[in-house]
Structure 1
Amino acid sequence: MSMELMIKAMKTKVGNPLRKLVLVKLADNASDQGECWPSYQHIADQCEIDRSTVRKHIKQLEAQGLLRIENREGPKGNSTNLYFLTLGGVGQDSTPVGPESTDVGPQPTGGVGPESTRTSHSSEPVNEPKPLCKPDPMEGFDQFWKLYPKKKSLKDAKKAWAKLAPNPELRQTLITALGKQRLQHDWIKNGGQYVPLASGWLNGEKWTDEVGPVAGANTGKPSAYNNLPKHTPDMYQEAPDGQPNF
């Protein structure tokens, strides 16, 4: 890409917005000498217009003296276009050079047709689409924190969550595992004294641990969960006062 040509192309008035777009695309592909050889299809794809529209505006740009076209035939009978941008003197006296200089020749009689020009895309830059925005690494943390029984070291918990940056599938796995583990006897006894910090739970991938005995289930020990109703479908939902339902 020639920055000088890009600037000149942006400042050049051509009388049509699509023609201006084609000119800018040619400048984007051009060397500092104003030489480029993108195919009609490549320009059409990049500018999001039809091939026929590209051909029409390239011919108009040539008629306006903003570029010149050289057609050459390749060894297999296919032909390609070389474009030389002549914006502000750049490219007017350039000599055709480059990887395609031995692969092109004069265009067959009949002018520029739908399939009359072809070129290898191997020399064309590939511009990968960029995402409009990055996923939020903290997405789902609020739900996790509301469910986690030990509300300590919030800053460390957020840091561990951001580092993990779980996708939707992993977030569901975390919530499901946490919902089971928080009912374990070891997490309930002594007022939750042995519940690990949320940061340690995340960093240590504790969601993969096997679930121990559920509090009050065949343990023979009293538990705060013994008085829970037999059916608790909304156990993991937030209560009106903002505290977990347990």
Structure 2
Amino acid sequence: MSMELMVKAMKTKVGNPLRKLVLIKLADNANDQGECWPSYQHIADQCEIGRSTVKLHIRELEKAGFLRREFRRKGELNQSNVFHLSLDGGAASDLGGGAGDNPPGAGDNPGGGAAAAPRTSHPYEPVNEPKPMVTPDLLVGFEQFWKLYPKKKGRKDAAKAWAKLKPNDELHQTLITALGSHCISEDWTKDDGRYIPNAATWLNGERWHDVLKPAGVSSSSAFHGLPNHTQEMYPEVKSGANF
């Protein structure tokens, strides 16, 4: 940790509270030369924010000139980036500041007198943390889930439900396993799948916890009542294997 960089990071104005937190975390990891190489996930865990949010703010810090990323690889594997911090220029020059950065009549010295009340927003950017729509990072595994789900209605709502759920590897496997069991249940196989809920309903309602009664016929027969694409996705069911 470089105390000098930590002090500079605390004094640097970046226009967003979470972006400031990310910058301080980088300074906390940096050596005296301003170099550090924490992973995105480590920064996210320490700052208690999402990994995609960390990446967004690092890109903005890089655009503003507060850091430079050095991408590293070892053979075919990606390694964590090396971040080179540069906090000597000050916020005014890096953010294209000047008189336009301050509201009319505000003093140039942010620490001077009672008139220099702390500001909670900036004209060039709102303080509120951006809330991106569904991003690729949040949809890891969704394509597989959607391909396996027998009722192809409401894909957009299903994608939002998946992003909200943010399943880890363990939960992802639980969802796929439960989906296989539900596909051969009595509720889902009768009346040509009339009672299969939309995927968003299934996810939002945590329906994978439902214990459904197996179909009254053999698993193989029940399975043949499902659409062809579902049969192709679950060869274990076709062969009579249990989930």
Shorter-chain-normalised TM-score: which range? Answer: 0.3 to 0.5
Q: Which has the higher helix share?
A: 2
Q: TM-score, normalised by structure 1?
A: 0.40
Q: TM-score, normalised by structure 2?
A: 0.40
